[in-house]
Amino acid sequence: MSKAIIFPGQGSQAPGMGKQLFEDHPAARTHFQSANDILGFEITKIMFEGSAEDLTRTSVTQPAIFLHSVILAEVLNLQSHAQMTAGHSLGEFSALVFAGSLTFEDGLRLVSERAQAMQEACDLTPSTMAAIVGLADEVVEEICAAINEIVVPANYNSQGQLVISGSIEGVEQALLLAKEKGAKIAKRIPVNGAFHSPFMQPAQDRLARAIEATPLKEPIFPIYQNCTASAERDPAKIKENLTKQLTAPVRWTQSIQQMIADGATSFEEIGPGKVLQGLVKRIDASVQAASRS
C-alpha cells in the first residue's frame, strides 16, 4: 500500500488559515515568524485576521497557501509515511519542500517571486480563465484549437472538468461553443489573468532566473510534476519542469492516474480546503482520499 501526499493550489485560501497551527505548535510559530521576515510584511496578520478579499491578492494568496501546507505537513511529521507526492500548480512548490528538494526558506522565496511575476504578467495584458464541465477533454481541446485567439487547456482537473485560459474574447467564444456542444457548466472564473497559458511567458522568464539560482536536492521520494504527469527525482529535470509550469497545462488528472498506476492506493491532501480530495475521488473512486487542514 503506497501513500501519496498532495498539496493544494490557489483558490483554497480562507480567513483564519494557519492560526490554529500558530497557536498550538512552537515549530509552526517559528516558521510563520521567519516567513514575515523573508517576505517583508506580516503575512500572519493577513492570514489570521484578514478578510477573504485581503487573501485574494496574489502576492498574499500564494505564500499563504504554501505556508499553511508546508508547516502543517511538518507538524504532522508525514515524510516517513509517504512514498510519493504532487501539488496542484502552486502546490508543486509545497510538494518539493515536503520531499526535501527545496528548503522552506528557498521555497517561500520562489513562491513570492512567482506570485509577483504572475501579477505583473496579468497587469501587462488583460486575460482570463473559465471552467468547462461535462465535455470530454478532447472536445474542449478541439474547441480551443478552433478559435482564432489564444485559448488553451490550463487545468486538467478530472475527467470532464477542464479549465481553459486565454484572451478575454477567445475564452468567451470558447464558452459559447462549449454550451453549444452540451457542456453542463461553462463559465468564467473570477481571476485577473490567464494562468498556465502563453500570457504567462513574461512571468516564466522572470521565475526561470530565480529557479536557476536556487539549489535543489534530489527528493527523498518521487514528485509527479504538473507539466509531465510523471515521476521525477533529477534536480535538473525538476527545475526545467518547474520553469515550464507557468505556461504549460496542469495535468492533474494524468498525474493522479500515473500515481495510481505506480502503486498509490491512498491520497492525503495537506493544506487549506478539500478540493484535491474531491478531484481524486472523481478521477478514480477505487482509491482512498482524505484531507487535513
Domain locations in the chain as residue ranges: 2-123+198-292, 127-189
Active site residues: 89, 196
- Yes or no: say if 114 and 65 are a contact pair by the CB < 8 Å rule: no
Query: How far apart are the C-alpha atoms of 63 and 13, rounded to whole Å?
Result: 10
What is residue 216's three-state secondary structure? Answer: coil
- What is the fold, at CATH topology level, of the domain defined by 2-123+198-292? Malonyl-Coenzyme A Acyl Carrier Protein; domain 2 (3.40.366)
**Band of pLDDT at residue 58, cut at 50, 70 and 90:** confident
Asked if the model's pLDDT at residue 56 lies above 90, the reply is no
User: How is residue 88 written as a grid cell?
Assistant: 496542484
Q: Are strands 288-292 and 264-270 parallel, antiparallel or unpaired?
A: parallel
Model pLDDT, residue 1: 74
Q: What average pLDDT does the segment 175-182 reach?
A: 98
Q: Which of 152, 179, 175, 183 is nearest to 165 (CA)?
A: 152
Q: What percent of the chain stands above pLDDT 70?
A: 100
* Full strand arrangement of the beta sheet holding 223-224: 231-232, 223-224, 84-87, 2-7, 264-270, 288-292
Asked if the model's pLDDT at residue 92 lies above 90, the reply is yes
Model pLDDT, residue 106: 98
Residues 247-279 as b/e (b if ≥16 CB within 10 A, e otherwise) read bbbbbbbbbbbbbbeeebebbbbbbbbbbbbeb
- What is the fold, at CATH topology level, of the domain defined by 127-189? Alpha-Beta Plaits (3.30.70)
* Equal CATH topology for 2-123+198-292 and 127-189: no
Strand partners, 161: 133, 158
**Band of pLDDT at residue 11, cut at 50, 70 and 90:** confident
Lowest mean pLDDT among 49-58, 103-112, 226-235: 49-58
Model pLDDT, residue 63: 97
- Yes or no: say if 253 and 202 are a contact pair by the CB < 8 Å rule: no
Q: What average pLDDT does the segment 251-278 reach?
A: 97
pTM greater than 0.85: yes
124-174, pLDDT tens digit by residue? 999 999 999 999 999 999 999 999 999 999 999 999 999 999 999 999 999
Asked if the model's pLDDT at residue 191 lies above 90, the reply is no
